[in-house]
Chains A and B, each alone.
Chain A
Amino acid sequence: MKTLKHIVVSLLIFIGLWQLIYLIGGFQEALFPAPFSVGKAIVTMFLHKDVYQDIGASMYRFVIGYLLAVASGILLGLLLGWFPRVFNYVNPIIQVLRPISPIAWLPFIVLWFGIGDIPAIVIIFIAAFYPILLTTAASVGNIDPIYLKVAKNFGIRRHRVLFTIVFPAAFPQIMNSIHIALGSAWVFLVAGEMTGAQSGLGFRIIDARNNLRMDHLLATIVIIGIIGLLLDSLIKVIEKKILSNWGKEAKEGGKYNAN
């Protein structure tokens, strides 16, 4: 209830300031749309079926790219964490590739995969992949050695240890990285759809710019923000539900995710 109060008040202040700047500045509507016209744009957009198609197209690309990153990031991360000697050789390459913005690969991606859904999927994949991979690999190395001692004592075979002990023991940290990666991947959705896509929320941004419809542009931005927020809340709920079995660690994980 208190958070609701915070949200409402902060929104009102924000919109109020926006309206005030609009009134005082005397900007042209085409350069700096007023809150009211953006609100109107959102309503008109939702009365049209285009926006649902755009959201659908974006979500489709996002979910595929993100889930591929989650699956491959966890699997590779587990293996690299489990075989630290291999990881030592792979890590330098990862460290060079990781700080490169996924956008930098876009020309190649378009060259190799053409236009359509794939460039956005690949961009989202790259954005989500590295944090999950690296956190998973690190968390495997960080698990409490007592779990491995217990596994050894009870004669659990090495290949089974990876999935019955190591993965669940590292899971709270992995889940945390999955959560953080969701946000960063969503950030790159727009960039991924700005080139090569003929639909989606990122394309809608470019389209609005080309048509000088700043009200539509801002309306799309608002929609992107709200969907991002909803996705984050959704994964927070899932995270909490899964990690409740882990006890204390789940609470810790939750705290990290508050930011």
Chain B
Amino acid sequence: MQIEIRDVSKTFQQKGEQLQVLDKISLEIEKGEFVCLLGPSGCGKSTLLNSIAGFERLDQGYIKIDQELVTAPTSKYVTIFQNYGLLPWRSVLRNVELGLEATKLPKNEREAIAKKYIHLVGLSKFEKSHPHQLSGGMQQRVAIARALAVNPDILFMDEPFGALDAITRIKMQKDILEITKSHKKTTLFVTHDIEEAVYLADRIVIMTPNPGKIKEIIPVKLPTSRDRTSDDFIRVRDRVFEILNMKETTILEYEL
């Protein structure tokens, strides 16, 4: 077990009201696993991810990574955001070098590492470009290269493909799966796209809002290279739909 989340609770104050975003969440994630946090907006999936990544403080419970309490972000676990978080004033190369600047590596080595990962995401031709000259998908590739360049143990991804068009998204999903599997990165991936979760995850953690809770965890026992149109794929997807639909009917009953 690489990540241990134990009885984690968190409330936000919003307009004088207490909003319970995380309610006694417990979860364990193994090394090398690809786990998707799936749920509608407001279910606390991003807050949970941010807490594991060290950006948020907890009210209750604890999170351990490699047996150590998480208190602040470190470059051992890198977060990839939906809006990429690239520095617009830096070229692609200099963006990817960013994480290496905190290390004591000499300049030419930093550059060599950055170039290697830019090549990996297929952007060697765009090394000298600035982020605004690239498409959304390419910008996210730069963010992925930047994350990989510091050789982190874990990748946290917060709806990374949410801003991309459907076709680019499918291509990116395929690529990120290949990269995380071949580099053996533990990946925690937040999404509200059911098909995306079924395509990517070894396990899907389904969350529901008010308060933010884990509804169910379903293992996806499909081969790594997944066919979105296969019966098995659709079966898993239906199962997720079912779980989420049940939540809708309970709300209806509640309102009646």
Q: Are B85 and A155 interface neighbours, CB within 8 A?
A: no
Also in contact, A153 and B73, with CB within 8 A (given A146-B81, A246-B89): yes
- Using a CB–CB cutoff of 8 Å, the interface residues on chain A facing chain B are 146-147, 149-150, 152-157, 164-165, 168-169, 171, 245-249
Identify the 10 closest CB pairs spanning chains A and B, nearest first: A247-B132, A154-B99, A155-B102, A150-B85, A146-B85, A168-B89, A153-B73, A155-B75, A246-B88, A152-B73
Alpha-carbon distance between A14 and B101 when the two chains are bound, in angstroms = 58
- The answer to whether A165 and B87 touch across the interface, beta carbons within 8 angstroms, is yes
Q: Is the CB of A156 within 8 A of B88?
A: no
Interface of A is mostly: helix
| Chain A residues with CB below 8 A from B224, complex form | none
Q: Is the CB of A147 within 8 A of B132?
A: no
- Residue B245 at the chain A interface, CB threshold 8 Å: no
Q: Does B79 contact A (CB under 8 A)?
A: yes
| Cα A90 to Cα B101 with chains together (Å) | 34
Q: Given A169-B87, A245-B89, A153 and B79 touching (CB < 8 A)?
A: yes
**Bound complex: CA A171 to CA B83 (Å):** 20
Confirm or deny: B124 has a beta carbon within 8 angstroms of a beta carbon on chain A: no
Q: Which residues 48-76 of B have a CB within 8 angstroms of A?
A: 53, 55, 72-75
Measured in the bound complex, the distance between the Cα atoms of B109 and A146 in whole Å is 27
Q: Which of B53, B101, B131, B132 contacts A153 (CB 8 A)?
A: B53
B46 CB to closest chain A CB (Å) equals 12
* Distance in Å: Cβ of A20 to nearest Cβ of chain B: 51
Does chain A have a CB within 8 A of B190?
no
Which chain A residue shows the least CB distance to B101? A156
CB pairs A–B below 8 angstroms (15 shown): A147-B87, A149-B85, A153-B78, A154-B102, A155-B75, A155-B99, A155-B102, A164-B101, A168-B87, A168-B89, A169-B89, A171-B89, A245-B88, A245-B130, A249-B88
Q: Give the CA-CA distance A156 to B81 in the complex, in Å.
A: 18
Digit string of B81-108 for contact with A (CB within 8 Å is 1, else 0)?
Answer: 1010101111000000011011000000
Report the Cα distance A165→B75, complex, angstroms: 17
Compute how far the CA of A150 lies from the CA of B75 in the bound complex, rounded to whole angstroms. Answer: 10
| A-B contact sample (17 more), CB < 8 A, given A147-B85, A149-B85, A155-B75 | A149-B79, A152-B55, A154-B98, A154-B99, A154-B101, A155-B102, A156-B101, A156-B102, A165-B87, A169-B89, A246-B88, A246-B89, A246-B130, A247-B130, A247-B133, A248-B88, A249-B88
Q: Does B150 sit at the interface, judged by CB under 8 A?
A: yes
B72 touches A152 (CB 8 A): yes
Bound-state CA distance A188–B102 (Å) is: 46
Chain B residues with CB below 8 A from A150, complex form: 81, 85, 87, 98
Q: How many angstroms from the CA of A116 to the CA of B249 in the assembled complex?
A: 83
What is the minimal beta-carbon distance from A155 to any residue of chain B, in angstroms?
4
Cβ distance B116 to chain A, nearest Cβ, rounded Å: 17
Give the nearest-CB partner of A244 in chain B.
Answer: B130
Q: How far is the CA of A228 from the CA of B131 in the complex (A)?
A: 35
In the assembled complex, which residues on chain A have CB atoms less than 8 Å from the CB atom of B88? Answer: 245-249
Pairwise interchain contact A149-B74, C-beta atoms closer than 8 A: no
In the complex, residue of chain A having the shortest beta-carbon distance to the beta carbon of B133: A247
Chain B: minimal CB distance from A226 (Å):
34
B115-134, CB < 8 A from A: 130-133
